[in-house]
Structure 1
Amino acid sequence: MSIKYMPKRIKVIGLMSGTSLDGVDAAIIETDGERILSFGPARTLEYSDAERTVLSESMAAAVNWNFTGPPPNIFSRAEALIDATHRRAVAGLMEASGLGKDDIDLVGYHGQTVLHRGATPKRKGESLQIGSGEGLAAATGLPVVFDFRSADVAAGGQGAPLAPIYHKALCDYSGLTGRIAVVNIGGVSNVTLINGDAPLIAGDCGPGNGPLDSWVKAKSGKDYDAGGALSLSGKVDFDLIACWLTAPFFMRPLPRSADRYEFDVLGDLAGISTEDGAATLAGFTAQAIARDMANFDPQTVIICGGGRHNRAIIYMLQSHCGGNVVSADTLGWDGDALEAQAFAYMAARTLCGLPLSFPGTTGTPEPMGGGVLASPK
C-alpha cells in the first residue's frame, strides 16, 4: 500500500451500519494506528421505518441479483440514503461533542453491506458495500477511508471479519491476558480468538440476530426480541438445530464468512409457536458460536454487538462455555460503539500502511492492508 504516514496521535471518527439495520453508529477514538490511546464520544442515529424498508428491500434485491448482471436500480436509492444518514451522523456527533472540523483528522466509513459471499474452496468471495467515500469527504471536508474489504477479497480472503485486529488492541488496552474469545453478535455472529502474541484466529460463526429478528418481525411486527423475552419463554427444538448445523457452511473451518441471509431457516419453523421459534433461533446462534470456541477453550468470553442484550442467547452461551461469559460493557468497553470504533482504528491503520486482515482472520495468504483514502476537494 502506498499510503504510509508516520504514526502519531490522531482523532478519528468511525462509522458503521450493520446488517441488523438498526441505525448508523458513530464513534471517536484517538490512536496511532497500533495502540488505542483514548475513547471519545459515540452516538447512534437510528433509521426511520421508511429508511429501514428501503435498505431491507435493497438487501433482498441483492440476494436475487447475486453479483450477476446489472445491479438492481434500488442500489442507487439505497446508497443515496446511506450517504445522507452518514453525513447526518457525522454532523450530529461533532455538534453534540462540541467539535469542529479542525478537531478531527480522519473518518473511517464502512458503508452498508448489501451482499456478502464468502470465499469457499470452489469459488472466490464477493462483497458489496454501498456508500460513497468521496461524497462523504466532499460533504464533511474531512479525509475519509472507505472500501475496507475489496483488497482482502481480491487477494483470496473472506473479506470478513475485519474487527479482530481491533479486538486485540482492546484487550491490550485493558491489560487482558490468557485465552480470550471476543464474540460480536450482529446480523451474523463472529468470534476472535486471542492468546497473547499468537496469531489471531477469527471468522463468522453463523447466525447472529438476523434470523431471530426476521422471525419476530414476521410474527409480531416488532423489530427484534427485546431482552430475549420471547426466546426465554419458548422451548428449544434441539433436533432442528442439529439439522441446521449440518449445512456446508458449518463444515468449513475458521476463517470463514457469511451473509446475514445465508441462514434462511424460517421455512423450517412452520407450525411452531412464536416463542418456541424464537427460542430455537436463539439456540441456533448460541450453539453455532460455542462450537467455534470449543477447541480453543477460552478462559474469558466477551460479548459485544446487539446480541449481548438478548438474555436467552447469553444464558445458552454460558451453559455451553466453560469460560467466564461477560458483556463488553463490564470491561469499560462501549458495546454499542465497538464496531464503529473498529473502523476508526482501521482507517488509522490504512493511513499508516498497516495490515487490517491476516491469514488466520480472513484466510489471506499474508497480512493484508485495505481501505481507500478519499481527500476532501
Structure 2
Amino acid sequence: MKITGPIWALGAMSGTSLDGVDAALLRTDGELISEFGASDYRAYSVEDRAAIAAALGQWHDGADVAAAAEVVETAHAAILSRMMGADSDQAPEIIGFHGQTLAHDPDNHRTHQTGDGALLAQILQRSVVWDFRSADVQLGGQGAPLAPFFHFACAKFLGLSEPVAFLNLGGVGNITYVDPSFDQPEAEGALLAFDTGPANAPVNDLMQARRGLAFDRDGELAAKGRVHAQIVDDFLNHAYFHKMPPKSLDRDDFAGLAPVVETLSDADAAATLTECCAASVARSSEHMPKAPSRVLVCGGGRRNAHLMARLKELSGMQIDNIDDHGLDGDMLEAQAFAYLAVRVARGLPTSCPSTTGVGANVGGGVISNP
C-alpha cells in the first residue's frame, strides 16, 4: 500500500484487564494526527473472559490457546466489521490488530499475542497489520510498551511544548515521558517509556474472586480499607523496581501479591493493592529526565477516584484525566494501533531504544492482505 497523505485507519485493542475489545478510527499519515474518528467497544462475556484467562501464560502450543484465539478473533471480527460499515466518510483503508497477549517473556526473546490477523484480513477484506511486538523482542527489545510513538503524536496534536507524561492504567501500568520539543519520536531524548508495575489487574482479580465483581468501582471499597504498609514496602523491594528502563512486565509477573493479601479483609486487601499501584507509579518518576509538566492518565484506572487521589498524593505530580484535555482515555490504545498500522505500511519505526530497549529503531508488524 502506497500512502502519500493522511488516511483513515482502524485500530483495535484487547488489553490485560480482559474486559473486552476497544476499536477506534484515526486519520493519520503515520506521523501527524489529522483527525480522531468514531470508536466503539465490545465487552467480553463471562465465558469469553474465562476462555482467555485459561490460556494466560501459555505459548502457541498451549492446550487452551485455540479456544482463546477463537474468542479473540470472533470478538474482533464483530466489532471491526460493525465499525467499517458505520460511517462511509471514515471508511478505513487499513486495520491495526494487536491481538490478546497471553504470555510475554522478552528476556528470552519471545512474546505471544493470540489472534490471526491473516484470517481477519480475509473476513474484513482489508489489509490488516498485526504481530506488532515480535520483531522488537527478537532484536533484543522488551516489545512493550508500543504506544509511545503515538503518545508523541498526541502531544504534538495538543500543541504541548513542555515535557509531559502519558500514564496508561490497564491491567498493567505503563508510562511514557514525552518531550514534544523534538521533531521525531525516535530522536534521542524525545521519549522514555516503561511499565510501571501492576495496575488494575490485582484489584480486578480480587474483586472477581471475593465478590463476583469485575472491578472496584470508583475505588469505593479501597477507600474504606486500611493500607498494610509492610506489604507495600515489600512490594517496592521487588527486583523489577531496581531495573533501569526501558522494561516491561507480563500480567502475572506480580501474581505473588494475591496470596500476600489473602488474610486481609476485602477492604484492606483492595486498599493495599491500590496503594501498590500508586506507589509504583510514584517510583517511576525517579527515572524521568526531568519532572513532567503534568501526567495525563488514560485507561480504566483513571475512573478510580481513590487511585487518582493516591497517585497525586504519593507522586507530588500534576495528575490529570486525559479526557479533560480532549482525548479519549478509553480509546487511546486502540487509536495507537491504528496509528502504528499506518507507520508499518509506510516503513517507519514503531519502537526505538528509549521505548523498548531494542538495539536500534525497529518497524514491527506483519501486513496481511485479503
TM-score, normalising length: structure 2: 0.94
1:210 counterpart = 2:201: yes
Q: Deviations over 1:144-169 (max 9, x none)?
A: 00000000000000000000010110
Q: Which residue of 1 aligns with 2:114?
A: 130
User: Is contact 2:298–2:332 with CA below 8 Å preserved after alignment?
Assistant: yes
Q: Which residue of 2 aligns with 1:350?
A: 344
Percent identity for Structure 1 against Structure 2: 38
Unpaired runs of at least 5, structure 1: none
Match of 1:104 among 83, 92, 101: 92
Pairing 1:64-83 to 2, within 5 Å after superposition: 65=58, 67=59, 71-83=61-73
Distance 1:98 1:341 in 2: 17
Q: Deviations over 1:295-323 (max 9, x none)?
A: 53222011001111111211111012333
Distance 1:239 1:118 in 2: 30
1:45 counterpart = 2:42: yes
Q: Which residue of 2 aligns with 1:32?
A: 29
More moved, 293-302 vs 275-284 = 293-302
Q: Which residue of 2 aligns with 1:339?
A: 333
Distance 1:34 1:192 in 2: 17
Q: Secondary structure of the residue that 1:368 maps to in structure 2?
A: coil
Q: Secondary structure of the residue that 1:360 maps to in structure 2?
A: helix
Give how far 1:179 is off. Answer: 2.0
Distance 1:186 1:225 in 2: 13
More moved, 86-95 vs 330-339 = 86-95
Q: Deviations over 1:169-218 (max 9, x none)?
A: 00100011212111000010000011232331000011010111111111
Q: Secondary structure of the residue that 2:84 maps to in structure 1?
A: helix
Give the CA RMSD over aligned residues: 1.4
Q: Which residue of 1 aligns with 2:284?
A: 292
Pairing 1:179-258 to 2, within 5 Å after superposition: 179-195=163-179, 196-197=181-182, 198-258=189-249
User: Is contact 1:7–1:33 with CA below 8 Å preserved after alignment?
Assistant: no
User: Letter of the aligned partner of 1:161 in structure 2?
Assistant: P
User: Is contact 2:93–2:127 with CA below 8 Å preserved after alignment?
Assistant: yes
1:125 to 1:314, Cα distance in 2 relative to 1, 3 A: farther
Q: Secondary structure of the residue that 1:206 maps to in structure 2?
A: strand
Q: Which residue of 1 aligns with 2:260?
A: 268
Give how far 1:280 is off. Answer: 0.6
Q: Which residue of 2 aligns with 1:148?
A: 132
User: Is contact 1:22–1:47 with CA below 8 Å preserved after alignment?
Assistant: yes
Distance 1:17 1:270 in 2: 29
User: Is contact 2:151–2:166 with CA below 8 Å preserved after alignment?
Assistant: yes
Q: Secondary structure of the residue that 2:356 maps to in structure 1?
A: coil
Pairing 1:363-374 to 2, within 5 Å after superposition: 363-374=357-368
Distance 1:314 1:125 in 2: 35
Give how far 1:237 is off. Answer: 1.3
Moved over 6 A (4+): none
Unpaired runs of at least 5, structure 2: 183-188
User: Letter of the aligned partner of 1:218 in structure 2?
Assistant: A
Match of 2:80 among 79, 87, 90: 90
Give how far 1:361 is off. Answer: 0.6
Pairing 1:161-180 to 2, within 5 Å after superposition: 161-180=145-164
User: Letter of the aligned partner of 1:16 in structure 2?
Assistant: M
Q: Which residue of 1 aligns with 2:105?
A: 117
